[in-house]
């Protein structure tokens, strides 16, 4: 027995009423169809799946008939029907079209006994009444299919995608007139020693205002669907204030995305030009493969240690939060931050994660007579155990890095054979409420220096540490905005000495006279999901761990484009 026309029309109306809202003052048929096509819906196999349809309702049986006899009823993904919503003629036509196609399938499958003559007559009448709307819908579907085929034909790969960012910043600063900065790094001394082994005075007004930019292109491809091959192209142009005062911010740069006299701080650009052009390199190539739902392997010829170790939700991205390299990563944990290697990432439980990696700074070197190769030269082995409690996370880190001919960044190739530093660190974050979060890092290292055989120079064990604390206010005065404040103490040698370096038998302390501290404040303004502007201010106290250094201020206006 067939359903009455009123019941069928009513049921078909509900079919489309569930899909999308009523359109106000449409400008054209195509606009109406476009709006309908953007709706989200899901096939319903039983009316009982719909949480807002009362089984005792007079509409229940009509809906049940549509589902059981024709199978063309659709609901929202949240299992609601919203049957009381009004609908437009185009929405009704879309639902009618779905049922017409289903009826045609039933007829073609020789199950026409499920469709009565009265049903067919009602459907034919509705089809005539909504001829224009059905024609518009079918035409739009044909156009969309043609457009999809055209797009697919122009894709360079159906398994790869391209994204990127451009950072532009104007930066400047310095000290007051007559101020002086004492930089040991200018003499090739690692910033951790500061002025312990001598320093050179530099005027506090020696820095210019400069324009810094970094362009990044990421090519991401999947081979099996549960893996990712990442190839990153990057280039940096323009120098931060660190080019004038080497060694400030623990040698990791006041602008991690900027450059210095020795290249970019992110390791992507060996020679940073100042004319606006940049040499582009493949500065990151790595592959991640998921072997089990909770276990991944990763590796490649060029990986970043801080992608996997010492990561933090609120201080880990120089494009969206803090600019200083000291707040982005730990210069002690990530002393050898880039190179060839690999590791694993294991979610032991939903709360506990274990990661480990090995990284060689010059892993591609083949010569046996120089420092380098996969197991020679500067390298790092690191492991991290993370406890994630939802709003709070605690990470315990151990790393051991080796340097050839150097110790904590001070190169003495004619004296030092190699050195090894054991680092114990902690990294914490706590989103107390969605609008306020705390974070902090602390690292302690012990360095054992091996001199060349027969050398009259000898080192005691060197102890160093570094720390930083801060907070952020996410979504301050708008979604996507953020305010951040952090204070950090630079990487500094706290104990250690060397005998015979300056004169035979003479002991020289490796402890600098001061302790560099840095304050950074930023406020990120989100103009769109593709564009942010961030004023950023940094104050550096006792730069390069020298009590004789006057303070520095660094002012930056950062703009980031994402695509």
Q: What is the per-residue DSSP string for 307-320? A: GTSS--SSSS-TTT
Residue with structure tokens 């099996």? 224
Q: Identify whether 366 is part of a domain.
A: yes
Here the tokens at position 220 are 């991401």
Mean pLDDT, range 528-547, rounded to an integer: 95
- Containing domain of residue 145, as a range? 5-154
Collapsing DSSP to helix, strand or coil, 545 comes out as: helix
Q: Does residue 250 sit in the same domain as residue 303?
A: yes
Q: Which of 41-45, 49-53, 162-166, 262-266 has the lowest mean pLDDT?
A: 41-45
Task: Mark whether 445 and 531 lie in a shared domain.
Answer: yes
C-alpha Rg value of the chain to the nearest Å: 32
Task: Spell out where 81-199 has E strands.
Answer: 160-174, 180-183
Query: In terms of domains, do 147 and 181 share one?
Result: no
Name the nearest CA neighbour of 495 among 480, 482, 510.
510
Flag whether 392 is in a domain.
yes
- Name the residue with higher pLDDT: 142 or 185: 142
Residues 95 and 224 in one domain: no
Residues 6+ apart with CB under 8 A from 94: 16, 19, 36, 137
**Residue 32 pLDDT greater than 90, yes or no:** no
- Which tokens go with 270? 């060996």
Question: What is the pLDDT confidence band of residue 80, given thresholds at 50, 70 and 90?
Answer: low
Query: In the structure, what pLDDT confidence band is assigned to residue 151 with cuts at 50, 70 and 90?
Result: confident
Which of 44-58, 184-198, 503-517 is the least confident region? 44-58
Q: For residue 364, report the phi and psi dihedrals to the nearest 5 degrees.
A: -90, 0
Which region, left, alpha or beta, applies to residue 456 given φ > 0 means left and ψ of -120 to 50 means alpha? alpha
User: What number is the average pLDDT over the span 294-305?
Assistant: 95
Residue 538 maps to which CATH number? 2.40.160.10
Q: What is the pLDDT of residue 13?
A: 40
Residues in the chain: 563
Query: What is the average per-residue pLDDT within 425-429?
Result: 97
Whether this prediction's pTM lies above 0.85 is answered by no
The CA dihedral of 61, 62, 67, 69, to the nearest 10 degrees, is: 100
450 and 550 inside one domain: yes
Give SS3 for 560. strand
Whether the per-residue pLDDT at 260 is higher than 60: the answer is yes
Q: Is the same domain home to 295 and 433?
A: yes
What does the pLDDT average to over 89-101?
Answer: 66
Q: Is residue 119 part of a domain?
A: yes
In this prediction, residue 2 carries a pLDDT of 40
Long-range pairs, 158-163, Cβ under 8 A, ≥24: 159/221, 159/222, 159/223, 160/219, 160/220, 160/221, 160/222, 161/219, 161/220, 161/221, 162/217, 162/218, 162/219, 162/220, 163/217, 163/218, 163/220, 163/562, 163/563
CB 492 within 8 A of CB 512: yes
Please indicate, yes or no, if residue 299 is contained in any of the structural domains: yes
Q: Answer yes or no: do 133 and 258 share one domain.
A: no
Q: Is the pLDDT of residue 12 over 50?
A: no
pLDDT digits (tens, 9 = 90+) for 41-68: 555 666 666 667 677 666 666 666 666 6
Q: Is residue 208 part of a domain?
A: no
Neighbours of 530 (CB within 10 A): 11
- Tell me: do 129 and 179 sit in the same domain: no
- Mean pLDDT confidence for 373-398: 93
Domain count, the chain: 2
Average pLDDT over residues 419-440: 96
Q: Kindly report the CA angle at 322 between 320 and 326, in degrees rounded to 5?
A: 135
220 with 343, same domain: the answer is yes
Q: pLDDT per residue over 306-365, tens digit each?
A: 999 999 999 999 999 999 998 998 999 999 999 999 999 999 999 999 999 999 998 888
326 closest CA partner among 376, 391, 255: 255
Q: What is the pLDDT of residue 92?
A: 65
Residues 318 and 439 in one domain: yes
207 found inside a domain: no
Provide the pLDDT confidence category of residue 105 given band limits of 50, 70 and 90: confident
Asked if residue 329 belongs to a domain, the reply is: yes
Highest mean pLDDT range out of 85-89, 96-100, 154-158, 169-173? 169-173
> Confidence band (pLDDT; 50, 70, 90) for 109?
low
For the chain, report the end-to-end CA distance as a whole number of angstroms.
58
DSSP string, 472-492: EEETTTSTT-EEEEEEEEEEE
Are 34 and 14 in contact by the 8 Å Cβ rule? The answer is no
The more confident residue out of 54 and 184 is 54
Residues 446, 465 share a domain = yes
Residue whose tokens read 């310095």: 174
What confidence score (pLDDT) does residue 143 get? 80
Residue 35 lies in a domain: yes
Residue 280 CA, distance from chain mean position: 21
pLDDT of residue 397: 98
| Mean pLDDT of all residues in 451-462 | 92
pLDDT over 70 at 93, yes or no: no
CB 75 within 8 A of CB 67: no
> Which pLDDT value is given to residue 55?
72
pLDDT tens-place string over residues 390-422: 899 999 999 999 998 899 988 888 899 999 999
User: How far, in Å, are 210, 337, 434 from residue 237 at the CA level?
Assistant: 10, 21, 36
| Residue 513 and residue 547 in contact, taking contact as beta carbons nearer than 8 Å | yes
| CA atoms of 295 and 223, how far apart (whole Å) | 18
Identify whether residues 137 and 197 lie together within a single domain. no
């Amino acid at each position: 027995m067939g359903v009455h026309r009123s019941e069928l029309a009513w049921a078909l109306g509900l079919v489309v009423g569930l899909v999308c809202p009523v359109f106000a003052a449409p400008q054209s048929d195509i606009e109406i169809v476009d709006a309908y096509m953007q709706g989200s819906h899901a096939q319903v196999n039983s009316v009982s799946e719909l949480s807002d349809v009362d089984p005792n309702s007079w509409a229940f049986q009509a809906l049940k008939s549509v589902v059981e006899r024709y199978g063309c009823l659709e609901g929202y993904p949240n299992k609601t029907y919203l049957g009381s919503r009004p609908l437009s003629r185009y929405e009704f036509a879309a639902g009618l079209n779905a049922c017409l196609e289903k009826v045609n399938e039933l007829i073609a499958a020789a199950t026409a006994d499920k469709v009565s003559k009265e049903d067919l007559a009602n459907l034919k009448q509705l089809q005539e009444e909504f001829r224009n709307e059905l024609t518009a819908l079918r035409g739009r579907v044909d156009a969309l299919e043609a457009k999809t085929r055209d797009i697919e034909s122009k894709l360079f790969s159906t398994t790869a995608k391209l994204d990127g960012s451009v950072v532009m910043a104007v930066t400047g600063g310095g000290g007051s007139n007559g101020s002086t900065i004492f930089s040991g790094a200018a003499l090739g001394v690692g910033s951790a020693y500061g002025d312990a082994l001598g320093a050179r005075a530099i005027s506090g007004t020696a820095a210019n205002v400069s324009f810094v930019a970094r362009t990044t292109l990421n090519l991401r491809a999947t081979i099996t669907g549960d893996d990712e091959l990442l190839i990153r192209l990057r280039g940096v142009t323009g120098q931060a204030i660190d080019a004038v005062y080497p060694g400030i911010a623990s040698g990791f740069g006041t602008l991690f995305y900027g450059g210095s006299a020795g290249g970019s701080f992110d390791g992507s650009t060996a020679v940073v030009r100042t004319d606006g052009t940049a040499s582009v390199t493949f500065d990151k190539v790595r592959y991640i493969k998921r072997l089990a739902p909770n276990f991944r392997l990763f590796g490649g010829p060029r990986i970043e240690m801080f992608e996997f170790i010492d990561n933090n939700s609120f201080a880990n991205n120089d494009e969206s939060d803090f600019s200083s390299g000291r707040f982005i990563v730990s210069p002690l944990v990530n002393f050898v931050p880039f190179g060839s290697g690999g590791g694993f990432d294991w979610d032991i439980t939903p709360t506990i994660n274990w990661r480990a990696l090995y990284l060689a700074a010059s892993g591609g070197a083949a010569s046996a007579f120089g420092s380098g190769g996969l197991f020679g030269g500067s390298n790092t082995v690191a492991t991290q155990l993370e406890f994630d409690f939802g709003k709070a996370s605690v990470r315990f880190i151990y790393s051991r890095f080796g340097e050839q001919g150097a110790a904590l960044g001070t190169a003495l190739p004619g004296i030092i054979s190699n050195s090894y530093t054991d680092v114990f660190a902690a990294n914490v974050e706590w989103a107390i409420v969605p609008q306020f979060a705390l974070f902090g890092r602390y690292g302690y290292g012990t360095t054992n220096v091996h001199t060349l055989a027969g050398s009259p120079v000898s080192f005691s064990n060197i102890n160093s540490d570094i720390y930083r604390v801060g907070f952020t206010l996410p979504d301050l005065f708008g979604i996507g905005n953020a305010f951040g404040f952090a204070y950090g103490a630079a990487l500094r040698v706290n104990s250690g000495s060397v005998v015979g370096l300056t004169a035979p038998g003479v002991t020289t302390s490796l402890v600098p006279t001061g302790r560099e501290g840095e304050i950074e404040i930023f406020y990120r303004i989100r103009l769109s999901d593709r564009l942010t502007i961030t004023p950023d201010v940094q104050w550096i106290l006792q730069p390069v761990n020298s009590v004789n250094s006057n303070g520095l201020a660094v002012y930056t206006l950062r703009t980031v484009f994402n695509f």
